[in-house]
């Protein structure tokens, strides 16, 4: 499973009566990895502008500044929601859906990065004189990060929380949604049209509620609350549920990828030219829909297209596979470097920050992330029922859920 940065895009294909869409999994997996690679690159570059180099370098350049302004986290939500839900739907069809196992797998998958991060932040906060965050604030912050309540904590304690962990609101929203997802699949998987209708209504409800919260409670809550930011993830779930109905459009998949790819570039470029907080308003709605179109087209395509080949470039796919590590570590690393290089010019500071992040990502991806994936490929696997009609169990192990 993938996405985020919290899942892996890799998954086997099983053709069932509920999901008759045959796809070319290797090219699709690579394209999704590349899409997540682009997303995490945009996120990291945007945050580097707050820590390592002056934003004035790009803020005066129209359109270019949009690529340093954020908004790409929606891609993680859509991709992750789709892939996780497909795995749950397959488990349900095989009589193997087990919410408790799913929760435990999520804890292992995300904990493989969050636990080392928490330990590193705790140690650095005690021995690094430049880290002036009070110990109590660090302890509270780490507790809420590890319990996936970070987004709710910062809504009321923004000034009493570690700013270098602020980006982890995304993982809290994601994991909170995943608490309900297997239960919804267990109840509604056999009624896909009803399920899809409910999900569509939820997307609309979350979007409307976000507008209300933004106008009444401010942008901080609107930008981090699960009830205001879950629309992208729910859209991914909706795509997974609706994929069997979308296969009739597979002949147009290449065109949809091209159009949505161009639209995503244009939308990112114009974001900073619009009114403040457009990522929570109309821009956010359009970007979510365009991302959903791109991801759906990648899934239903019969073969590679120009866009999927571009997304499948090795550098992008590596970034996608390591996106969880990059996402989790980039801001703490940048903040650490910024504290220790206050007298440096921005260029060497940025080079040092990027180099240190690359080293940390390689290390944690190699020694924590990949071992967790391999362990989950053997342990806590769903146990299919002895007989599940109209299904076929894939022989290759799927990625950790």
Residue pLDDT, tens place only, 85-141: 999 999 999 999 999 999 999 999 999 999 999 999 999 999 999 999 999 999 999
Q: Where are the alpha helices (DSSP H) in 165-303?
A: 169-188, 192-216, 219-224, 226-229, 231-246, 253-270, 282-300
Number of residues that make up the chain? 401
Residue pLDDT, tens place only, 273-314: 999 999 999 999 999 999 999 999 999 998 889 999 999 999
Model confidence at 37: pLDDT above 70:
yes
- Contact present, 346 and 48 (Cβ < 8 Å): no
Percent of the chain, pLDDT > 70? 89
CA distances from 178 to 12, 230, 370 (A): 21, 11, 22
CA distance 228 to 6: 20
Percent of the chain, pLDDT > 90? 84
CA end-to-end span of the chain: 5
Model confidence at 156: pLDDT above 80:
yes
| pLDDT value, residue 294 | 98
CA distance 382 to 398: 10
**What's the mean pLDDT in 190-200?**
98
| pLDDT value, residue 26 | 65
- Name the residue with tokens 């809420």: 144
Residue closest to 73 by CA, chosen among 213, 274, 224: 224
Find the largest Cα–Cα distance for the chain: 67
Residue 69 pLDDT grade (very low, low, confident, very high; cuts 50, 70, 90): confident
Tell me the three state secondary structure of residue 226.
helix
Residue 23 pLDDT grade (very low, low, confident, very high; cuts 50, 70, 90): very low
User: If phi over 0 gives left and psi between -120 and 50 gives alpha, with beta otherwise, what is residue 21?
Assistant: beta
CA distance 358 to 191: 45
- The average confidence (pLDDT) of the chain is 90
Distance of CA 335 to the CA centre of its chain: 22
- 315: CB partners within 8 A, 6+ apart: 37
| Burial of 348: CB neighbours in 10 Å, binned 0-12, 13-18, 19+ | exposed
What does the CA dihedral 46, 51, 52, 53 come to, rounded to 10 degrees? 70
Question: The tokens of 330 are what?
Answer: 């980039």
- Contact present, 101 and 382 (Cβ < 8 Å): yes
CA distance 272 to 283: 11
Phi, psi of 7 (to 5 degrees): -125, 165
DSSP 8-state symbol, 18 = S
| pLDDT value, residue 138 | 98
Distance of CA 281 to the CA centre of its chain: 20
Model confidence at 398: pLDDT above 50:
no
Residue pLDDT, tens place only, 336-380: 999 999 999 999 999 999 999 999 999 999 999 999 999 999 999
Model confidence at 182: pLDDT above 80:
yes
| pLDDT value, residue 50 | 80
Question: The tokens of 312 are what?
Answer: 């499948």
Task: Say what the pTM is.
Answer: 0.90
């Amino acid at each position: 499973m993938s996405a985020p940065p919290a899942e892996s895009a890799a998954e086997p294909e099983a053709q069932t009566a509920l999901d008759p869409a045959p796809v070319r999994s290797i090219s699709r997996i690579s394209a999704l990895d590349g899409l997540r690679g682009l997303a995490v690159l945009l996120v990291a570059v945007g945050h580097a502008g707050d820590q390592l180099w002056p934003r004035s370098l790009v803020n005066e350049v129209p359109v270019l500044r949009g690529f340093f302004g954020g908004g790409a986290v929606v891609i993680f939500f859509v991709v992750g929601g789709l892939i996780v839900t497909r795995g749950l739907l397959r488990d349900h069809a095989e009589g193997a859906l087990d919410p408790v196992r799913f929760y435990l797998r999520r804890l292992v998958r995300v904990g493989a990065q969050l636990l080392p991060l928490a330990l590193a932040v705790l140690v650095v906060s005690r021995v690094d004189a430049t880290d002036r965050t009070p110990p109590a604030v660090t302890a509270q912050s780490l507790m809420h990060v590890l319990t996936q309540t970070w987004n709710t904590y910062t809504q009321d304690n923004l000034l009493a929380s570690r700013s270098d962990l602020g980006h982890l609101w995304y993982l809290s929203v994601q994991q909170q949604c995943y608490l309900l997802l297997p239960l919804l699949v267990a109840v509604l998987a056999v009624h896909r049209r009803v399920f899809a209708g409910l999900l569509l209504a939820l997307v609309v409800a979350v979007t409307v509620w976000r507008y209300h919260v933004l106008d009444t409670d401010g942008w901080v809550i609107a930008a981090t609350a699960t009830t205001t930011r879950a629309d992208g993830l729910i859209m991914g779930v909706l795509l997974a549920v609706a994929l069997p109905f979308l296969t009739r459009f597979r002949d147009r998949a290449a065109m949809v990828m091209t159009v949505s790819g161009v639209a995503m570039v244009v939308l990112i470029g114009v974001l900073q030219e619009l009114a403040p907080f457009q990522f929570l308003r109309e821009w956010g709605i359009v970007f979510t829909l365009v991302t959903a179109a791109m991801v759906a087209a990648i899934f239903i395509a019969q073969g590679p297209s120009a866009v999927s080949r571009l997304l499948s470039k090795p550098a992008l796919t590596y970034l996608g596979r390591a996106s969880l590590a990059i996402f989790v570590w980039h801001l703490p690393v940048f903040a650490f470097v910024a504290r220790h290089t206050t007298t440096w010019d921005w260029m060497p500071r940025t080079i040092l920050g990027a180099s240190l992040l690359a080293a940390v990502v390689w290390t944690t991806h190699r020694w924590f992330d990949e071992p967790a994936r391999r362990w989950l490929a053997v342990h806590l696997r769903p146990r299919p029922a002895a007989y599940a009609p109209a299904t076929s169990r894939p022989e290759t192990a799927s990625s950790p859920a």
